Amino acid sequence: VQLVESGGGLVQPGESLRLSCVASGITFSRHDMSWVRQAPGKEREGVAAIYTGGDYTYYADSVEGRFTISKDNAKNTLYLQMNSLKPEDTAMYYCAAVLGPYVGRGDCRRFSGYNYWGQGTQVTVS
């Protein structure tokens, strides 16, 4: 199983980025997916998650209204559109997968059960 993130970079406050995560080795359409971030010296934080079919999403309060998660099951790809970025969004962003339906659906904080993780892509807002 491989999850490969891309799209991170250095941007100024207020700008946008779109992260991508390409999955292989799993039946992507049967997996719930999530974006989780970790800032230096802080614990991992669940940011956004999406159901297997892409028909339902949920977000952390800190990004609600600014970030949009989506998945293209035909392309085995997960996305995170990030708008109005803030310095506090600076972190390593990881995508994660778990066979759906995930028991922790509806709460981004419940990401410990995800069993496949990518290596991360760095987002810096400064």
Summarised one tens digit per residue, pLDDT across range 2-16 is: 999 999 999 999 999
Per-residue model confidence (pLDDT) at position 94: 98
Q: What is the pLDDT of residues 97-125, one digit of tens each?
A: 999 999 889 898 899 999 999 999 999 99
- Alpha-carbon distances of 65 from 37, 59, 82, 125, rounded to whole Å: 17, 9, 10, 18
The tokens for 20 are 């991508």
Q: What is the pLDDT of residues 27-72, one digit of tens each?
A: 999 999 999 999 999 999 999 999 999 999 999 999 999 999 999 9
CA distance linking residue 123 with residue 6, whole number of Å: 10
* Cβ(78)–Cβ(23) below 8 Å: yes
CA distance linking residue 106 with residue 45, whole number of Å: 15
Per-residue model confidence (pLDDT) at position 39: 96
